[in-house]
Structure 1
Amino acid sequence: MNTLTRTKLSAMMFLEFFIWGAWFVTLGTFLGNNLKASELETASVFSTQSFGAIIAPFIIGLIADKYFNAERILGILHLVGAFLMYQMYNSNDVSTFYPYVLAYMIAYMPTLALVNSVSFRQMKNPEKEFSVIRVWGTIGWIAAGLSISYIFHWDSAEGIGQGMLRNTFMMAGVASLILGIYSFMLPKTPPVKNDGKSNSISEILGLDAIKLLKNKNFLIFFLASVLICIPLAFYYQNANPFLTDIGLDNPTGKMTIGQISEVLFLLLLPVFFSKYGFKKTILVGMVAWALRYVLFAYGNAGELSFMLIIGIALHGICYDFFFVSGQIYTDARAGEKYKSSAQGLVTLATYGVGMLIGFWVAGYIGEYYRGLGGENIWQSIWLVPAGIAAAVALLFLLTFKDEKDPNKEVPAFEPETDKAPAITSLP
């Protein structure tokens, strides 16, 4: 890959995740303070991410991969996203905000697969080249969070009081407009010729790999993946409102520590995975989820603020050791002919179904404890996902049989087609 192409793709990744990080991290705080949303209304808004994740494979598999250049669809979706962001910026209550955020998530989620498609098609050796490009996405997310806290101070007590968090949507909208226009300058990525064959709905959603669930170990892993998304949803929905509510300075900027740790632990994952195997690696990830929520439950913005920072920093272990190692395990378990389909099935089940359940559980738990009142509302809320994560870890420990080589136990069955579907994968 030449330097110009690498630079173009890096800038694309930076903008793609700058957009997401510019508004999604502070969304819960904005909904509660600016729109006076209830816990269940907040859960409803966050659930739009799951709806977008469920719908995205259809947009990619039925439209993008068959009829149009990936970079052109990427541009159109981000231009639409810029308009929707402007509408979200102008919304004054949840009822008018919700349709726009739902439409935005349906438009944005497919772009996560499109930026990967545009990147991979320019690479001769994706295993070595992609990580160098993808890391700019994480840098973009970090840059958005640092800008909100340390440049614009929109998440400060004064900024929130003046309703300045609304500006995050304008910032994301401007970035979306820039990426929308910029996308038409990216390397041309036409549809892949498939000799007249078309993907079935079952291929697109990864349902062709459902036979893998006949294997007990894969079934246990699959169910654990869905269940662990419940505590994950608590983090996305409640972390920024919690840190803001208890008075931690520059909460959005400090939350970028999680993305920094994600990069660092991603480098350590291959070593840990090869030395200790899949079961111990994923158990460490599950235990880290439970530990971080205990730290959130008992930490504060004063002398125990270090507990909050450690909890945020654990995001690297929580995400990489569970989800990334899970992707590696799925890849090995599925075999060559079912790799894409299996990854699609797990993505649909986790970011679609699992996160959808998680957002609503978080909403109901928040509504319940706020209804009870008292001084330790946040402590009670955080101990729930801590307990869920600990229970999932215990069940996994007791039921999953350790494997040194997951390829040895892959069920043998003949697929109907060798064609791999286009699957949306989330970071």
Structure 2
Amino acid sequence: MKSSVKVQLSVMMFLEFFIWGAWFVTLGTYLGTNLGADGLDSAKVFSTQSYGAIIAPFIIGLIADRFFNAERILGVLHIAGAILMYMMYKAPDVSAFYPYTFGYMIVYMPTLALVNSVSFRQMSNPEKQFSNIRVFGTIGWILAGLLISWLKWDNVQNNAADGTLKNTFLMAAVAAGVLGLFSFTLPKTPPKKAEGNASVSQILGLDALKLLKDPNFLLFFIASIAICIPLAFYYQNANPFLTGIGLENATGKMALGQVSEALFILLLPVFFKRFGFKNTILVGMLAWVIRYTLFAYGNAGELAFMLLTGIVLHGVCYDFFFVSGQIYTDAKAGEKYKSSAQGLITLATYGVGMLIGFWVAGFISEQYKTAAGTPDWKMVWLIPAGIAAVVMILFALLFRDKSKAAELPQ
């Protein structure tokens, strides 16, 4: 791969995830503080991510993979996203904000697959080359969080005084516009004719439903949906919680989660080889229980280390469950159902599981409040900790597959 192409792909990945990190991390705080949204309002807005994840395969499989160059549709979607993001910046209330967010997620979620497609098509050895490109996406997300905290847009006092947190949407809109225009300069990535023959069921991963006949894979599939319920609590409530209790530079500190994600993924092969898939995924589930328990009992004062530990555990929570789950799915699917199986798991987790999770998180936030009308954060975090614990125990008792690294794809 030419060095100039490598630079282009790295910039593309950086901007792709800078955009997402620039507004999504602080979305819950913005909805409650700036737009006066309650828990169910927030659930409605956050659920647009799940709708986007459900609709994305249609856009990719039925349109992008068949008729248009990937880099061109990437550019069009990001330019449309820039316009919608600017409308989110201007929206005066939740009712006006929601439809723009819904539209934005419909155009943004497909770009996550498109940037991968553009990257893979330029690589002679994706297994070795892709990680060096994808890491710039993690850097983009981290830098967005650090920038928000450095500018003090997430500072409770500053935001209450002049609503500075809304600037995150303007920043994301500018970045989306830049990436939209930049996408047209990327290497040409025409659709592959072979991919155009895929059926709708293949695109949505429905062909892989046959894998559910395996009791172990069925249990993993159900556990994947269930564990996304506590995951949704983190996305929806973590930033409002940390800023609300007065943790300094909360958004910047949340970026430690992405740092740990990049580091812990390096330990994944070691755990696979030594402990097998089941124990690795159980460690990931246990990390969710520990993280939310730390959030429930930590504070912004002398127990702030508990909050920071919970943030850093993100790498274990995500990598040891989701990444190892993707590898396990790939192994079980075989050549015939590889793509369909990954599509099915994505649809189940980011689509169905997260959709349920966002609404459960919104309901819990409304049910448990203090006398002052603020969320009872202890209960808001102990409930998903309990859900994760139940999923972990059932998985430990019922899952029988003892696959190890030697039996999984290298």
Give me the TM-score of the superposition, normalised by structure 2. 0.97
Residue number in structure 2 paired with 1:255: 254
The whole-number CA distance in structure 2 between the counterparts of 1:347 and 1:372 is 40
For 2:222, what is the secondary structure of its paired residue?
helix
Matched position secondary structure for 1:300: coil
Contact 1:12 1:183 in 2 (8 A): yes
Give the AA of the match of 2:335: E
- Per the TM alignment, residue 240 of structure 1 is displaced from its structure 2 partner at its CA by 0.1
Residue 146 of structure 1: aligned partner: 146
CA 339–372 in structure 1, closer or farther in 2 if over 3 Å, else same = farther
**TM-fit CA distance, 1:273:** 1.2
Corresponding residue of 1:238: 237
Q: Deviations over 1:221-272 (max 9, x none)?
A: 0000000000000000000000011000011000000000000001111111
Moved more, 110-119 or 264-273: 264-273
Once the two structures are TM-superposed, the CA of residue 374 in structure 1 deviates from its matched residue by 8.1
Moved more, 246-255 or 365-374: 365-374
Counterpart check, 1:353 vs 2:379:
no
**Aligned positions of 1:288-307 closer than 5 A:** 288-307=287-306
2-side partners of 1:108 and 1:85: how far apart?
11
Cα separation, 2, equivalents of 1:42 and 1:376: 13
Q: Residues 303 and 139 from structure 1, CA distance in 2 versus in 1: closer, same or farther, beyond 3 angstroms?
A: same
Partner of 1:133: 133
**Distance in 1 between the 2:281 and 2:194 partners?**
37
Q: CA deviation at 1:274?
A: 1.2
List aligned pairs for 1:28-427, cutoff 5 A.
28-150=28-150, 152-161=151-160, 162-194=162-194, 198-370=197-369, 377-404=376-403
The residue matched to 1:370 in structure 2 has which SS?
coil
Shift of 1:194: 2.2
CA distance in 2, matches of 1:158, 1:56: 38
CA distance in 1, matches of 2:135, 2:326: 18
Equivalent in the alignment of 2:19 = 19
Distance 1:279 1:266 in 2: 17
Aligned CA RMSD, in angstroms, stands at 1.5
In 1, Cα distance between the equivalents of 2:395 and 2:331?
19
Distance in 2 (CA, whole Å) between partners of 1:316 and 1:15 is 22
Kindly state the Cα deviation for residue 123 of structure 1 after the two structures are TM-superposed. 0.4
CA distance in structure 1 between the partners assigned to 2:51 and 2:405 by the alignment:
32
Letter in 2 for 1:299: G
Give the C-alpha shift of residue 199 in structure 1. Answer: 2.0
Instruction: Give me the identity figure in percent.
Output: 70
State the alpha-carbon separation in 1 of the partners of residues 370 and 68 from structure 2. 51
CA–CA separation in structure 1 for the residues paired with 2:382 and 2:19: 31
Q: Which runs of 5 or more residues in structure 1 are unaligned? A: 410-427
Task: For residue 267 of structure 1, give the secondary structure of its aligned residue in structure 2.
Answer: coil
The residue identity in structure 2 corresponding to 1:115 is V
Matched residues in 2 for 1:372 and 1:228: separation? 31
Distance change (3 Å), C-alpha of 1:176 and 1:244? same
Unaligned runs of 5+ residues in structure 2 are: none
Q: Which runs of 4+ in 1 moved over 4 A?
A: 371-376, 405-409
- Residue in 2 aligned with 1:420? none
Deviations 1:200-223 (CA, angstroms, capped at 9, x unpaired):
211110000001000000000000
What's the CA shift for 1:406? 9.3
What is the aligned residue count? 407
Indicate if the aligned counterparts of 1:18 and 1:143 stay in contact, CA closer than 8 A: yes
Do the aligned partners of 1:333 and 1:406 also contact (CA within 8 Å) in 2? no
Deviation, 1:58, is: 0.1
TM-score (norm 1): 0.93
Q: Report SS of the residue matched to 1:326.
A: helix
1:404 CA displacement: 2.9
Asked whether the 8 Å contact 1:332–1:407 carries over to 2, the reply is no
Q: Which range moved further: 83-92 or 362-371?
A: 362-371
Contact 1:335 / 1:407 at 8 angstroms: preserved in 2?
no
Kindly indicate whether the alpha-carbon contact (under 8 Å) linking 1:289 and 1:318 is maintained by their aligned counterparts in 2: yes
Shift of residue 179, structure 1, vs aligned partner: 0.1
Amino acid at match of 1:84: L
Secondary structure of the 1:36 match is coil
The Cα shift of 1:159 comes to 2.3
